[in-house]
Structure 1
Amino acid sequence: MWSSSGLKFEASLTFVCQINVTVYETLLGRVLCIITGASRGFGRTVAREVSRLVKPGSAIVLAARSGDDLRALRTELTESEAGRAGLRVESVVADVGQTEGLDGIIGAAKEAFTEEVDHVILVNNAASLGDVSRFTTSFTDLAEVDAYLSLNVSSCLCLTARTLRTFPQRPGLRRTVVNISSLCALKPFSSWALYCTGKAARDMMFKVLALEEPDVRVLSYSPGPLDTAMQEEARSRTADPSIRKLFCDHFSEGKLLTCEASCAKLMKLLLEDGYASGAHVDVYDL
């Protein structure tokens, strides 16, 4: 949710990429795309963009805990131009922190997959902020910390592993794994112990994956300070006054990114495919 150059606003943030659909279709191919945390915010925007940029015969699996929002998005995409052209959209109401949730996502992905699919994309977007109203020494309850890490780290590892095992390497099949990261993976923020820990762990996990699986394209993308509910929570609940003021100033000065502007840059990254696998790429770097 935060960018490695997030302390400086750049005019380029107004950039909204309107890329020719035919180019996208050629480069993204016939896709099976799994998106977690798809019901709102950045995940919802990713789902919309991907739906416009794939060949007929593609499928998107939307996963989130919010059933009503998820079903509304599925209806929107199914009734869109891409949906009418044959895009298959599946929605799975799932808590990725629970085994049953992962089972449901993989089951839906297997059902949606066809032999014509030439590109499997997993977007690990689901995440929670954690309790930012407290400092590190207050986290004495092991169960509380375990629950946070299960949702934000363990689930990400297990879903990625299951996806790659379910859709193994074969001639003609590209596989891409995207981790939605943050400046907090690289820099500590006072009173943000849980969030920083989770994001740092995920970045390292995907660096290891890139070393182990050279045929898989692995990207950790930091989308920047987005105008979302998570940012609103950060402004209202962050315990450290200087960090809270930083978030409030970015909001009042109009320095938050729209999900659409940041997502356009993610799509550009995936299209150009020039990043080093396992790299952490920031929206401000593009």
Structure 2
Amino acid sequence: MAPAADLGRVLCIITGASRGFGRAAVKELARLVRPGSVLVLVARSGEDLLTLQAELTQSEPGRTGLKVEVVVADVGQTEGLENIIRTSKKASNEDLDHVILINNAASLGDVSRYTKSFTEMSEVDSYLSLNVSSALCLTARVLQAFPQRPGRRRTVVNVTSLCALQPFCSWVLYCTGKAAREMMFRVLAEEEPDLRVLNYSPGPLDTNMQVEARSKTADPHMKKTFSDMFSGGQLLTCEASCSKLMKILLEDTFTSGTHIDVFDV
């Protein structure tokens, strides 16, 4: 079956949209949705979001009917989630035939320490709230706000990582968060057969998170691995990885709930 030419008339909510992979995904999506689509861009940095909004509004899709809304919010806070849903419902209309949620917002956590140093529950709870609880609660709210109905497709993407599958020394918070999120979306896929659920691993990206990994990782072997990837030119651009994600979404042949790595596309 040939892949679709576009993603339809879409409402797409993207967290962590102001930079890196999220920003690249927004720009790719803008080219692949029909006029009348709505992009809801979520991040903590209002200035970066407004710059991206202006860029999209002035682009060809923007001139032909793409609506771009920004929500400056911390997804780790209930108020932020409420704001996202409120904005999305206000901006959407009955003509939209595809709802897409891209759970991209995440943080690396403290990689300068080993597991045995994490004795404070409040520190761990704070990390898991932003990286796990927020994704579950936002997804649940979106599914309730935009329920299944005839003629409407719904897709949920979790931006995951190899760290969801393999342990990285001194990355206990990040690996734990990614593993928990991945299982969360696998459960969701089992519960909601009409929903399309994808765990997409974008690969080693040339982003600020990689800079942090090279400079702060406590484990010397891991640190060297990250430095060697950078110096060896092995990091992917966000744009290259996002184009692979769009290919998966357009083809729409993946098994719901599956983990797909960028290198397998």
* TM superposition score category, shorter chain reference: over 0.9
1:230 to 209, 226, 230: 209
Confirm whether residue 55 of structure 1 aligns to residue 55 of structure 2: no
Aligned residues: 264
Residue 160 of structure 1 corresponds to which residue in structure 2?
A: 139
2:198 to 211, 219, 224: 219
2-structure distance, mates of 1:135, 1:192: 7
Confirm whether residue 275 of structure 1 aligns to residue 254 of structure 2: yes
Confirm whether residue 110 of structure 1 aligns to residue 85 of structure 2: no
Residue 265 of structure 1 corresponds to which residue in structure 2?
A: 244
Contact 1:25 1:55 (C-alpha < 8 Å) held by counterparts = no
2:186 to 195, 202, 207: 207
What secondary structure sits across from 2:69 in the alignment? strand
Confirm whether residue 75 of structure 1 aligns to residue 54 of structure 2: yes
Q: How does 1:35-46 map to 2 (within 5 A)?
A: 35-46=14-25
Alpha-carbon shift at residue 67 of structure 1 (Å): 1.0
- Residues 1:66 and 1:126: Cα distance change in structure 2 (over 3 Å): same
Task: Please give the per-residue CA displacement for 1:50-107, whole angstroms capped at 9, x wherever unaligned.
Answer: 0111100000000000111111111111111101111000000000000011011111
Q: How does 1:110-259 map to 2 (within 5 A)?
A: 110-259=89-238
Alpha-carbon shift at residue 24 of structure 1 (Å): 8.3
Q: CA RMSD in A?
A: 1.0
2-structure distance, mates of 1:27, 1:51: 10
2-structure distance, mates of 1:249, 1:106: 42
Q: TM-score normalised to the size of structure 1?
A: 0.91
Contact 1:25 1:54 (C-alpha < 8 Å) held by counterparts = no
Bigger Cα displacement from structure 2, 244-253 vs 65-74:
65-74
Between the aligned residues of both structures, percent identity stands at 71
Task: Please give the per-residue CA displacement for 1:120-145, whole angstroms capped at 9, x wherever unaligned.
Answer: 00000000000000000111111110
- Residues 1:277 and 1:94: Cα distance change in structure 2 (over 3 Å): same
2:79 to 78, 97, 100: 100
1-structure distance, mates of 2:239, 2:6: 20
Alpha-carbon shift at residue 187 of structure 1 (Å): 0.1
Alpha-carbon shift at residue 27 of structure 1 (Å): 3.6
Contact 1:32 1:113 (C-alpha < 8 Å) held by counterparts = yes
List runs of 5+ in structure 1 lacking aligned partners: 1-22
Residue 18 of structure 1 corresponds to which residue in structure 2?
A: none
Alpha-carbon shift at residue 26 of structure 1 (Å): 4.2
Alpha-carbon shift at residue 25 of structure 1 (Å): 7.5
Task: Please give the per-residue CA displacement for 1:237-262, whole angstroms capped at 9, x wherever unaligned.
Answer: 00000000000000000000000110
Residue 8 of structure 1 corresponds to which residue in structure 2?
A: none
Alpha-carbon shift at residue 30 of structure 1 (Å): 0.1
Q: TM-score normalised to the size of structure 2?
A: 0.98
What secondary structure sits across from 1:28 in the alignment? coil
2-structure distance, mates of 1:249, 1:285: 22
Contact 1:74 1:89 (C-alpha < 8 Å) held by counterparts = yes
What secondary structure sits across from 1:271 in the alignment? helix
Q: How does 1:3-18 map to 2 (within 5 A)?
A: none
1-structure distance, mates of 2:26, 2:186: 25
Q: Looking at both structures, which has the greater relative contact order when contacts are Cα pairs under 8 Å and sequence separation is at least 6? A: 1
Alpha-carbon shift at residue 112 of structure 1 (Å): 1.2
Contact 1:24 1:54 (C-alpha < 8 Å) held by counterparts = no
Question: 4+ runs of 1 displaced by more than 2 Å?
Answer: 23-27
Contact 2:161 2:203 (C-alpha < 8 Å) held by counterparts = yes
What secondary structure sits across from 1:47 in the alignment? helix
What secondary structure sits across from 1:57 in the alignment? coil
